[in-house]
Structure 1
Amino acid sequence: MIDVILKKGKEKAAVLRHPWIFSGALDKVKGKPLNGEIVSVWSAEKEFLAYAYYNDQSRVALRLLEWDQNTEVNKAWYQQKLKSAIASRKHVLSENTNTCRLVFSEADFLPGLIVDKYADFLSLQILSAGIETVKDDIIDILREELNPIGIFDKSDAGARKHENLEVTQGLLWGETPPEFIEVKENGVVYHINIADGQKSGFYCDQRDNRLILAEYTKDKTVLDCFCYSGGFSLNSLKQGASHVTSVDSSALAIETLQHNLTLNGLSQDKQTSIQSDVNKQLRVFKEEGKKFDVLVLDPPKYAPSRSALDRAARAYKDLNRLGMLLLESGGILATFSCSGAVDLETFKQIIAWAALDAGKEVQIIKQFSQPEDHPVRISFPEGEYLKGLLLRVL
């Protein structure tokens, strides 16, 4: 195995079990490892630190896997990690919920691997060169452990480009998923499209938050922005909302939402779907003098990196300012950020700026986070990407 030596004083992250070491921390590479190859990582004082995936094409040159020098990273090692991750989610799945995240990358000690379960199908995202080299082993283990009908590749994220990997999508094993897979989450039924849908097919990271928000929607008018397949819309209607308006720029999202309304036997008379850019539509509502009792803002990732933070902050502020202006006095705003570069305190500050610009007083009622199948490893706080606030706008 090829040895990689760190510069003096650059071993702290590895000692603290953080899984990333950036290229600038490397001193010597004793050989020419292939990208994705496992290497031994050593301090400048020649102390063993960890085994890691190597990639000279990425800013994250080393993705640490195993800190015990006597433990071999082989197929049995991957099987143990996968079995442990799957077992920790078993209680999440039930008669009312048959979809969740089974593997969450660094949080489950498998950097660059995401596995989502949708009924009897699995969706994989492979985001690191290291996992790409053992893809066949991963598929074999998942087949053995879960016996799925099919395994679908959704490795189409931009993160693969940072690892010098091409984006890929398609069937990996078994049967091709149907146009719509029927899944259940908290008793709500969804038709989701793995092949053509966003990300891995369905945002199961909002499972808990959909239930929390629904408690505030009985007999209320709700505006669900960036609604996608309708998670917040459907839960609100099921809880007894008087009317829900759902907005998304994607025609597929709106079509899927309509399917889901029918699946759940929910009244079309109490729901309006609008295919439109959310920011433009909010301005239209403002010009029309429309008001709502409850508003959901769940936008895509505005800050993919810290370099985009200033621009993202302005976008979040303007979006939330517009949202606050559309609420009745005392209305409820559920606002989210899935940008890892935006921490909770920064997000609160952005909301404070938005409230000031909107001329509104705002109370924080609850703080939202990602559910337990998206755990945050204490040595890897970057895994805490989803945050949100439940606000009362006065």
Structure 2
Amino acid sequence: MKKDVTFKVKGKFANKYKSGYPLISKEAILNLNEVTKEGTIIRLVDEKNRFIAKGYFGKQNKGYGWVLSRNENEQIDQKFFVNKLRDAISYREPFFNSLDTNAFRIVNGEGDGLGGLTIEYFDGYYLINWYSKGIYNFREYIINALKELTEFKAIYQKKRFDVSGNYIEEDDFVAGERGTFPLIVKENGINFAVYLNESAMVGVFLDQRDVRKRIRDAYAKGKNVLNTFSYTGAFSVFAAVGGAVKTTSVDLANRSLSKTVEQFSLNGIDSDSQDIIVEDVFHYFKYAVKKQLVYDMVILDPPSFARSKRTIFSAEKDYKDLLKEAISITKDDGIIVASTNSSSFNMKKFKTFIDQAFRESNRKYQLVEEFSLPKDFKIIKEFPEGNYLKVVFIKNLP
């Protein structure tokens, strides 16, 4: 039995935690230096020693742990995790019953009361992402709960707290029978190749599901589409299936070429009829302006932070300028799909970046529609930072 450690919450933060805020932050705790071992169970109390919540100690980004329970008598044991996973899986029941989508998230961290942990489902295969050594300390409970509650082909894992980025197949495989990769999964009827045994990123970001579907169903037909920071070309595939005249996918990573070719071929699309370019997106914008290339639709979905040999990009600081580059090569009445997964600012702030970019470009615009996380990426109102995805469809007015 692990010994609990008590964290005393500063007065001005107490009500925040009593109201349901789940992330244990450095500035909120008076005696943070009393614990060093990740995975230690911690009790949060106010300055009068009144119980607030219990959770675990685990360093993740700016946090030092997550609240797991607000019941003082609840044990953080096997039963606890079985109950949490059962509730999470039940919430996703409509996804399990879908005929055209078999890749989705079944545990979304703090949205399901399990901060620091995500679990994704890929047609019978489960992928656990551990975001801190703290939550990884409970791996036996969580893996056993998953085994008890599901019929699985295999379970894989990613230790996302491993800053070295060194992933090996033996480390990724947990239980079941090793898969043969790529694993072919479906999203709204479109095929994707997924690799659970290669690296932290498996081949598709599931949080953009609704956006991809919307592009295919309502925007792509007859359009010339530029997909920047294209990764494995998922947006391009949906645009092509939706009737785009042509797609151009641009990404700096060498692997993006073969991965994008693979995704096109899985959906019966001749990749030779599309442009797939391995290049720094910022260089490509300059090339497009020089060659007077313009597009009916430009998709901007950069990482929150990116570094190349010549460029350092931070969404919080640089998204406005990136958007100005996109505006310069978007046709009149064309659409820019502006997307960011940065949790450091909200949708209101994101819209100010959009407004500034168009004003500085001497262009008018119309906000057509917007998206945030899909339903399987469950969030809680007490933790707005968890609703990180912000996508806005913008019309570039003449």
TM-score over 0.5 for the pair: yes
Q: Is the contact between residue 14 and residue 49 of structure 1 (CA under 8 Å) also seen in structure 2?
A: yes
Aligned sequence identity (%): 27
**Per-residue deviation, residues 176-227 of structure 1 (Å, max 9, x unmatched):** 3333110100000011222335535420100001111221110111111122
Query: In structure 1, what is the Cα distance between the partners aligned to 2:32 and 2:252?
Result: 48
1:167–1:21 Cα change, 3 Å: farther
60-69 or 239-248: bigger deviation: 60-69
Aligned twin of 2:189: 187
Alignment of 1:149-188 (within 5 A): 149-157=153-161, 170-188=172-190
**Per-residue deviation, residues 71-103 of structure 1 (Å, max 9, x unmatched):** 222110101101111111121242210000111
44-53 or 191-200: bigger deviation: 191-200
Q: Is the contact between residue 125 and residue 200 of structure 1 (CA under 8 Å) also seen in structure 2?
A: no
1:277–1:195 Cα change, 3 Å: farther
Q: Is the contact between residue 58 and residue 135 of structure 2 (CA under 8 Å) also seen in structure 1?
A: no
1:326 is the counterpart of 2:335: no
Q: Is the contact between residue 122 and residue 151 of structure 1 (CA under 8 Å) also seen in structure 2?
A: yes
Unpaired segments of 5 or more residues in structure 1?
304-309
1:243 is the counterpart of 2:246: yes
Aligned residues: 385
CA displacement at 1:249 relative to structure 2: 1.6
1:340 is the counterpart of 2:343: yes
Q: TM-score, normalised by structure 2?
A: 0.89
Query: In structure 1, what is the Cα distance between the partners aligned to 2:281 and 2:198?
Result: 21
Q: TM-score, normalised by structure 1?
A: 0.90
SS of match in other structure, 1:294: strand
Q: Is the contact between residue 172 and residue 196 of structure 2 (CA under 8 Å) also seen in structure 1?
A: no
1:84 is the counterpart of 2:87: yes
Q: Is the contact between residue 205 and residue 374 of structure 1 (CA under 8 Å) also seen in structure 2?
A: yes
1:44–1:313 Cα change, 3 Å: closer
Aligned twin of 2:309: none
SS of match in other structure, 1:173: strand
CA displacement at 1:67 relative to structure 2: 0.4
CA displacement at 1:381 relative to structure 2: 0.8
Query: In structure 2, what is the Cα distance between the partners aligned to 1:276 and 1:354?
Result: 24
Query: In structure 1, what is the Cα distance between the partners aligned to 2:66 and 2:299?
Result: 36
**Per-residue deviation, residues 87-140 of structure 1 (Å, max 9, x unmatched):** 111212422100001111111100110111122222211113331111122112
1:112 is the counterpart of 2:116: yes
Query: In structure 1, what is the Cα distance between the partners aligned to 2:200 and 2:37?
Result: 31
Unpaired segments of 5 or more residues in structure 2?
307-312
1:17–1:167 Cα change, 3 Å: farther
Q: Is the contact between residue 154 and residue 200 of structure 1 (CA under 8 Å) also seen in structure 2?
A: no
Q: Which amino acid aligns with 1:371?
A: P
Query: In structure 1, what is the Cα distance between the partners aligned to 2:255 and 2:34?
Result: 49
Q: Is the contact between residue 250 and residue 277 of structure 2 (CA under 8 Å) also seen in structure 1?
A: yes
Give 2:276's match in structure 1, choosing from 273, 277, 288.
273
SS of match in other structure, 1:202: coil
1:287–1:35 Cα change, 3 Å: same
CA displacement at 1:70 relative to structure 2: 2.5
Alignment of 1:155-304 (within 5 A): 155-157=159-161, 170-197=172-199, 199-214=201-216, 215-268=218-271, 270-302=273-305
1:315 is the counterpart of 2:318: yes
SS of match in other structure, 2:67: strand
Aligned twin of 1:121: 125
RMSD of Structure 2 on Structure 1 (CA):
2.5
